[in-house]
């Protein structure tokens, strides 16, 4: 009920921000911060009274109950962790769009993206899950198509077609579950409720023929892999990230990969009883290939924005590995593996948002985002480059930052399944570390590129905005148990 109220408030604020003529930035900034605060306090209240890992705060509004369309909401620790991520990165995205000449349309679309993500995470009904899944794509498409940089038209179309292809397969899988559930229930009733369609009693029953079980898994997997993005469905990624303006890139990197990850742990994990080990090995190998391949590609980039785009995709490879290995393992290792995967989505979202936001300031100060045109800027802008360095270190998985917790738990728990293949993962991590350090060394340190002229460091507000993100990453890295423990409970229930 409370969650639903926050969501409705968010929708109202979004509608207002579309039509606001004066001060649209201030309005959307404050309203997104308000949503962040409300979600945060809601999470604190709900978890302070103990959490058992089930779906809590269920609420349902019957729209067309006879054909199973209800607006059902519910939350778990997975949902709330990712809601926290969403509501955290949208204000950052809006914040860095401050000084640009944007109208209400821009901020309205940014807020609409948040509506889509928020609705996606709280929906417990498949039709609304799908509607919000699509509701994220359209504003992001428009943001790239209207405000993008070079090649914005091809980039936005490519982005939309890839994700739409994923969505239609998602729809097919939903329809398949729906159609078989109709015959499965003795009373032949329609339901689109996630909890009943994903219940292991139904999915592992003989009501679904073996072929259709593969079909369901394929559809979901395809949709989520496009969003991650995972090898080989990634070719929209460099264009979209590069062409999108920075605020949108922040949302793309943090928010859209979140959708794929959320699908992994909210839909594929409950379906784990029908995922055969051959499919799991495909997921794992795609994860490993993503990690190694994208890291190698990122190393070749001379453009920092593109490098970060591939770095983002590479670290989502860990999520693939975590799901695949986690289902195969049992007991404490499985829990640690899967929880690490969820934690990786959260950590990756925060870190990549921080990196892109910082890179935006570097671009704004120097006008450059190419590694060769920068160099030694630490001399001129020490605070900015320190925060950027912090982000890079967090991204490569240095202990003390949130990324380390998830990567460590995934790698440590994977050994029993992957065996010697673990060296490939570690190889990927080494490449990741090396190009992060290399990029930091070439851009931030070394001799200053005098052609850049005198630079001013960022102001107090900017330091507060991106600094707070770094602080959150540090807190989650030093004391992970505030969220890790809750996520473990969620995974325990499903295993």
Partner 1 sequence: MNIINMLQSSDFTTLIPELFLGAIAFIMLFLGIKYKNPKLYSAMAFISLLIAIGLLLVFDSSVSQTYSGILQINDFGLFFAIIMIISSLYMVLPSTREVHEKPELFYATLLFVNIAMIVAAFSFNLIVIFIAFEGVSIGTYIMTAYGKSRRNLEAATKYFFTGTIATSFILFGSAFFYISAGTFNLQNVAALQSHSVLIALIFLFVGFGFKLALVPMHQWAIDAYDGSPNSVSAFLSTGTKVLAFLIILRIFLVGFSLESVDVYYLFIIISIITMTYGNIAAISETNLKRVFAYSSVAQAGYLILVLAVVGYNYSANANELAILAGMYYSLVYIFMKGGAFFSVGLVKKENAKIDDLSGLAWKSPAMAISIIVILISLAGVPPTAGFFAKYYLFLSLISGQLWWLAVIAIVNSAISVFYYLRLIVIMFRRDGDNQFDLSPSVYYPVAIAAIMMFALVALIYEFPTIQTYVLGLFGV
Return residues touching partner 1 (CB under 8 A).
64, 66-67, 69, 130-131, 134-135, 137-138, 141-142, 145-146, 152-153, 156-157, 160-161, 164-165, 168-169, 171-172, 175-176, 178-179, 182, 212, 215
Write out the DSSP string of 267-316.
IITTTGGG--HHHHHHHHHHHHHHHHHHHHHHHH--BHHHHHHHHHHHHH
Cβ closest to partner 1, residue 26 vs residue 153: 153
CA distance 310 to 306: 6
3-state secondary structure of 64: strand
Compute the distance between CA of residue 114 and CA of residue 97 in angstroms, rounded to an integer: 15
Q: Which is nearer to partner 1, 141 or 333 (CB)?
A: 141
- CB of residue 405 to partner 1, shortest distance in Å: 37
Exposure pattern of 160-192 as b/e (b: 16+ CB <10 Å)?
bebbeebbebbbbbbebbbebbeebeeeeeebb
Question: With respect to partner 1, which residue has the nearer C-beta, 192 or 494?
Answer: 192
Q: How far is the CB of 140 from partner 1 (least distance, A)?
A: 12
Pick from 219, 334, 299: nearest CA to 267: 219
Cβ nearer to partner 1, comparing 212 with 408:
212
Question: Using an 8 Å Cβ cutoff, are 414 and 425 in contact?
Answer: yes
175 or 437, CB closer to partner 1?
A: 175
Residue 159 near residue 239 (C-beta atoms within 8 A): yes
Q: How far is the CB of 281 from partner 1 (least distance, A)?
A: 24
Q: Two tokens at 277?
A: 């080990």
DSSP 313-337: HHHHHHHHHHHHHHHHS-HHHHHHH
Nearer to partner 1, 78 or 197 (CB): 197
Q: Rounded distance, CA 265 to CA 490, Å?
A: 10
411 neighbors 341 (Cβ within 8 angstroms): no
Euclidean distance between CA atoms 27 and 34, whole angstroms? 10
Q: How far is the CB of 67 from partner 1 (least distance, A)?
A: 6
Q: Least separation, in Å, of the C-beta of 179 and partner 1? A: 4
Q: How far is the CB of 192 from partner 1 (least distance, A)?
A: 11
HSE, side-chain direction, 13 A CA sphere, residue 416: 13
Q: How far apart are CA 418 and CA 132, in angstroms?
A: 36
Whichever of 69 and 412 has its CB closer to partner 1, that residue is 69
- Give the C-alpha separation, 146 to 143, whole Å: 5
Between 179 and 430, name the residue whose CB sits nearer to partner 1. 179
Q: Give least dist CB 184 to partner 1, A.
A: 13
Which CB sits closer to partner 1, 191 or 336? 191
Instruction: Kindly state the smallest distance separating residue 214's Cβ from partner 1, in Å.
Output: 11
CB of 195 to partner 1, least distance (A): 20
């Amino acid at each position: 009920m409370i969650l639903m109220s926050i969501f409705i408030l968010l929708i109202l604020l979004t509608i207002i921000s579309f039509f606001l003529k004066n001060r649209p930035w201030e309005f959307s900034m404050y309203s997104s911060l308000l949503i962040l605060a409300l979600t945060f306090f809601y999470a604190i209240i709900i978890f302070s009274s103990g959490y058992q890992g089930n779906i809590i705060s269920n609420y349902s509004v019957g729209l067309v109950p006879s054909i199973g369309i209800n607006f059902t909401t519910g939350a778990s620790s997975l949902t709330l962790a990712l809601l926290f991520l969403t509501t955290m990165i949208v204000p950052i995205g809006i914040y860095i769009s401050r000084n640009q000449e944007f109208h209400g349309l821009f901020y309205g679309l940014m807020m609409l993206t948040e509506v889509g993500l928020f609705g996606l995470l709280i929906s417990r009904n498949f039709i609304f899950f799908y509607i919000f899944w699509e509701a994220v794509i359209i504003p992001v498409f428009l943001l790239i198509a209207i405000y993008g940089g070079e090649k914005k038209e091809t980039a936005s179309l490519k982005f939309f077609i890839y994700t739409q292809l994923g969505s239609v397969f998602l729809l097919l899988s939903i329809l398949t579950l729906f159609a078989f559930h109709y015959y499965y229930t003795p009373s032949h009733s329609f339901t689109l409720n996630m909890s009943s369609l994903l219940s292991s009693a139904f999915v592992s029953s003989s009501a679904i023929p073996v072929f259709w079980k593969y079909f369901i898994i394929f559809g979901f997997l395809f949709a989520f892999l496009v969003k991650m993005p995972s090898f080989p469905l990634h070719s929209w990624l460099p264009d979209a990230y590069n062409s999108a303006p920075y605020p949108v890139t922040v949302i793309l990197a943090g928010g859209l990969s979140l959708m794929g990850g959320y699908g992994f742990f909210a839909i594929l994990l409950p379906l784990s009883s029908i995922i055969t080990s051959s499919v799991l090995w495909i997921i794992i190998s795609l994860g490993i290939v993503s990690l190694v391949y994208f890291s190698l590609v990122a190393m070749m980039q001379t453009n920092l924005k593109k490098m970060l785009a591939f770095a983002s995709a590479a670290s989502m490879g860990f999520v693939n590995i975590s799901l695949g290995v986690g289902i195969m393992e049992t007991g404490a290792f499985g829990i640690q593996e899967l929880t690490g995967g969820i934690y990786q989505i959260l950590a990756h979202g925060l870190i990549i948002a921080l990196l892109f936001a910082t890179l935006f300031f570097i671009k704004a100060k120097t006008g450059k985002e190419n590694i060769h045109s920068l160099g030694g800027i630490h001399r001129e802008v020490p605070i900015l480059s320190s925060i950027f360095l912090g982000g890079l270190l967090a991204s490569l998985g240095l202990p003390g930052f949130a990324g380390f917790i998830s990567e460590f738990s995934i790698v440590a728990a994977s050994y029993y399944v992957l065996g010697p293949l673990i060296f490939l993962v570690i190889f990927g991590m080494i490449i990741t570390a090396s190009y992060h350090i290399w990029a930091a060394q070439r851009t931030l340190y070394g001799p200053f590129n005098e052609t850049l002229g005198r630079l001013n460091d960022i102001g107090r507000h900017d330091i507060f905005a991106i600094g707070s993100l770094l602080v959150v990453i540090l807190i989650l890295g030093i004391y992970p148990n505030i969220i890790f423990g809750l996520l473990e409970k969620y995974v325990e229930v499903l295993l």
